[in-house]
Chain A
Amino acid sequence: MASDHGQQAAGHEPAVTSGPPPAAGLEQDFDAGSLYALRSAVAAHAAAAGLAPGRVYEAVAAVHELAANAVRHGAGHGRLRLWTDGQVLTCQVTDKGITPDGQGQHPPAQALPWPAEHAHGLWMVGQVTDQFTIDHGPAGTTATFTLNI
């Protein structure tokens, strides 16, 4: 659920641009209606980058969880950037929303109790990726993960 602040911020400049600017690769906006297209695009680019099929699935799954978080708990939409640098695939999901409690989102340190909770998706991202960080600030949230190729 997006906060009022997040709703008002929608439609302006991209929120956060931390990290290296993506070179050629994938740059795609998403919202609730385009998560399927986002997954397809990530699968194609991750496979083209040389990831094994199982790792392609994990890249897709991780991007989906971050994007779904942005849709459901952030601004309701966001942007994915994907690029490769040597033997590392990096995916970065940005959105301009903040969580309703204003606390931002942090990768949970350890396994969460079943059944699933909101942060369970983030836990999975931490499990399947090689590096995973979330930066948040007044301008929004940037979640970045890498997968070694």
Chain B
Amino acid sequence: MADASAQITELTVDDHACLTFGEPEELLDLTAAFIRDGLASGLKVVWLSDAASQLAELGRRGVAVQPARGRGQLVTAGCQGRLLSGQEFHADAALGWLAGQVESARAAGFAGLRVAVDMGWALRPVTGIEELPRFEEGIAAALEGTAASVLCQYDRDRFDPVTLASVAGSHTRSVAAATYHADPVLRICRQYAPPGIRIAGEIDYQAAGPLALALAEAVRLGGDIVVNLAGLAFADVRCTAMIADAVRAMAARATVALQCRPPVAAGFARLGIDGLPGVRLVPGGQ
């Protein structure tokens, strides 16, 4: 594993986890995995977020959104009227909402509850924001003895370190994407929903080390694999060949979707990847 954080797929009942993310793609990927695994376990899943197109993003990542909504198992909603009342935040009211959700899921016969909360609302000018640490502390008590877990989602670039540190202690786990390389030019990380690997930015031979590690782990993933290069603007011949090598290994036992922009796809085509059985080239990216 490339870092010490827990994996999103390792969360269990009554966890109060803190997910920190650096970009929307990472947030949506990890959230989709959290929701997918919750639905598969028969839990009710609630995602509070003020981001637009939540459902479409989940659908794109392989979550069967409509059937789950139809049987009341999946709810996506904004924070207004749940965590916020107008521009006011009251920790007790928010904890009351959470307790109501736990009870409602139990009464409906679900095996438990998963709640994901995008904490972006706390960056806006909201009265009572100083109660945020008390809210985070209170969640532990609200979850005790229940079959419920909460995933609080913090943008690590937008929240100040003091706030992040003040709430960190209230969480039972810290969750982040397994990241093999991250700098302003290149990011290599695990993708969770659908499973695979994601590389964004520009990659050349100087990142061959972390790329090799990431590919070695991706090859060991079970089932079909997505190699998400939609955000990859440049790949040199060395790295293109390394990825092609890994794709060949993956395709020997599973289906591989290779998502990339046309110029990067041309590089794979030159290496004979486009006609390989089990490999699907998917146009993607800007």
Which residues of A approach B to under 8 Å, CB–CB?
32, 35-36, 39, 53-54, 57-58, 60-61, 64-65, 68, 72, 114-116, 120-121, 124, 127
Contacts and interface: CB of A to CB of B under 8 A. Distances in A.
A149 B131 CA distance: 62
A109 B234 CA distance: 26
Nearest to A36: B185
B263 interface: yes
Interface string B202-237: 101110000000000000000000000000001011
Given A53-B263, A65-B237, A116-B241, 11 more contacts: A35-B204, A36-B185, A57-B263, A61-B234, A61-B263, A68-B205, A114-B241, A120-B237, A121-B237, A124-B237, A127-B270
Across the A-B interface, give the 3 residue pairs with the lowest CB-CB distance, nearest first. A116-B241, A57-B263, A121-B237
Interface in B234-256: 234, 236-238, 241-242, 244-245
A58 B263 contact: yes
A91 B267 CA distance: 20
A58 B263 CA distance: 8
Interface of B: 185, 202, 204-206, 234, 236-238, 241-242, 244-245, 262-263, 266-267, 270-272
Nearest to B236: A64
Contacts of B185: 36
A32 B262 CA distance: 27
A115 B237 contact: no
Contacts of A60: 234
Contacts of A35: 204, 206
Nearest to B261: A57
A61 B262 contact: no
B205 A39 contact: no
16 contacts: A32-B206, A54-B263, A61-B234, A61-B263, A64-B204, A64-B236, A68-B205, A68-B236, A68-B238, A114-B241, A114-B272, A115-B241, A116-B237, A120-B237, A120-B238, A120-B241
